[in-house]
């Protein structure tokens, strides 16, 4: 789990640096090798590894517009994911989807730029597995803002009614773009909403990968045993803006500095050391492996070719 968190962080740091190429001194989202919006997942790595450590490639994950950490934890091909973000023809979707639309059927991962969009497909996938008598659970990641969408309530209702093997995971980073959760949500945590649909609700604080692993293990075991859905609400931290270029003027003074001071990756490393699980040499070796994986993926993406212009209408409905 620690190594996967590092791969995710190093990947985001690499993407952040490359994204800014060609966008200085005047920020223009259309410029550089990675045009368009970019939503980094720095700080939310525990949500990904704590849940996905329980999953296999046959389980299904749907994620949000901020998907890189969940994709990496699910085992999405890192090189082809990087190439997809660059818009290269070697990408997972031939460079057509970009960073908010990552699909890897080999490990049953998908995401969408539309809020709460992945909830319906996750419930549908869980229904399919149940009707076919096949093993596998579905996990739907959403942000805390999505819990106020109609799709949230529709999917929880059907999942509970049909007792489907699906787990809803809310990454509560306290901000829906620039709107504070306290200004948009009537209850202190969304795990309270689980009881309205007769399913277990877990509220995990501290952005702690071990606590998330424990809650996810209970929920996924219940789903695999035929016990139906669960909801996991995780308090996490967004260490970057909503998107690259976000001035973050909505944050209270000192908030970002406080969040960075409790960065979950150094905190997890200190914990592993204090419990004699890893030595300094172990941590250094893990860091080197993680860095190498990211360097290889970024190198593959940079060296890959762009699609030819006459391929623009391939694989789309026209």
Instruction: Tell me the pLDDT of the chain (318 aa) as tens digits.
Output: 999 999 999 999 999 999 999 998 888 999 999 999 999 999 999 999 999 999 999 999 999 999 999 999 999 999 999 999 999 999 999 999 999 999 999 999 999 999 999 999 999 999 999 999 999 999 999 999 999 999 999 999 999 999 999 999 999 999 999 999 999 999 999 999 999 999 999 999 999 999 999 999 999 999 999 999 999 999 999 999 999 989 999 999 999 999 999 999 999 999 999 999 999 999 999 999 999 999 999 999 999 999 998 888 887 777
Spacing of C-alpha 44 from chain mean position: 8
**Environment class of residue 269 by beta-carbon count within 10 Å: exposed (0-12), middle (13-18) or buried (19+)?**
buried
Can you tell me which residue has the tokens 């030595």? 279
Token pair for 214: 């424990």
Per-residue pLDDT at 63: 97
Confirm if 94 and 80 have CB atoms less than 8 A apart. no
φ/ψ (deg, to 5) at 79 = -65, -45
Confirm if 57 and 107 have CB atoms less than 8 A apart. yes
Per-residue pLDDT at 166: 98
Domain regions of the chain by residue span: 1-306
What does the alpha-carbon distance between residue 213 and residue 41 come to, in Å, rounded to a whole number?
Answer: 18
Could you confirm whether domain 1-306 is CATH 3.40.50.300?
no
Per-residue pLDDT at 317: 78
Whole-model pTM: value is 0.96
Token pair for 107: 């490990």
What does the alpha-carbon distance between residue 154 and residue 77 come to, in Å, rounded to a whole number?
Answer: 32
φ/ψ (deg, to 5) at 62 = -115, 140
Per-residue pLDDT at 313: 85
The contacts of residue 135 (CB under 8 Å, 6+ apart) are 58, 129, 224
Handedness of CA 259, 261, 264, 265 (dihedral sign): positive
């Amino acid at each position: 789990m620690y190594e996967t968190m590092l791969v995710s962080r190093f990947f985001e740091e690499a993407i952040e640096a490359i994204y800014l190429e060609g966008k200085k001194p005047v920020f223009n989202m259309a410029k550089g090798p990675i045009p368009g919006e970019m939503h980094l997942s720095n700080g939310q790595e525990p949500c990904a590894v704590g849940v996905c450590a329980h999953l296999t490639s046959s389980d299904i994950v749907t994620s949000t517009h901020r998907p890189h950490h969940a994709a990496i934890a699910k085992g999405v091909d890192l090189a082809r994911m990087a190439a997809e973000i660059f818009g290269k023809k070697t990408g997972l979707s031939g460079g057509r989807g970009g960073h908010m639309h990552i699909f890897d059927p080999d490990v049953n991962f998908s995401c969408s730029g539309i809020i709460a969009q992945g909830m319906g497909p996750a419930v549908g996938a869980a229904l399919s597995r149940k009707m076919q008598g096949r093993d596998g659970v579905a996990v739907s990641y959403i942000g805390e803002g999505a819990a106020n969408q109609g799709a949230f309530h529709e999917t929880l209702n059907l999942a509970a009614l049909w007792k489907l093997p699906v787990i809803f995971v809310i990454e509560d980073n306290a901000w829906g773009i620039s709107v504070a959760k306290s200004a948009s949500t009537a209850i202190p945590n969304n795990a309270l909403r689980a009881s309205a649909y007769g399913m277990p609700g877990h509220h995990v604080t501290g952005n702690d990968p071990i606590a998330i692993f424990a809650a996810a293990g209970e929920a996924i075991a219940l789903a695999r045993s035929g016990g139906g859905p669960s909801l996991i609400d995780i308090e996490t931290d967004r260490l970057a803006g909503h998107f690259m270029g976000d001035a973050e003027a909505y944050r209270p003074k000192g908030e970002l500095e406080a969040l960075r001071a409790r960065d979950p990756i150094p905190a997890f490393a200190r914990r592993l050391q204090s419990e004699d699980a890893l030595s300094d040499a172990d941590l250094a070796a893990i860091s080197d492996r993680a860095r190498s994986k990211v360097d290889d993926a970024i190198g593959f993406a940079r060296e890959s070719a762009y699609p030819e212009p006459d391929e623009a209408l391939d694989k789309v409905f026209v």
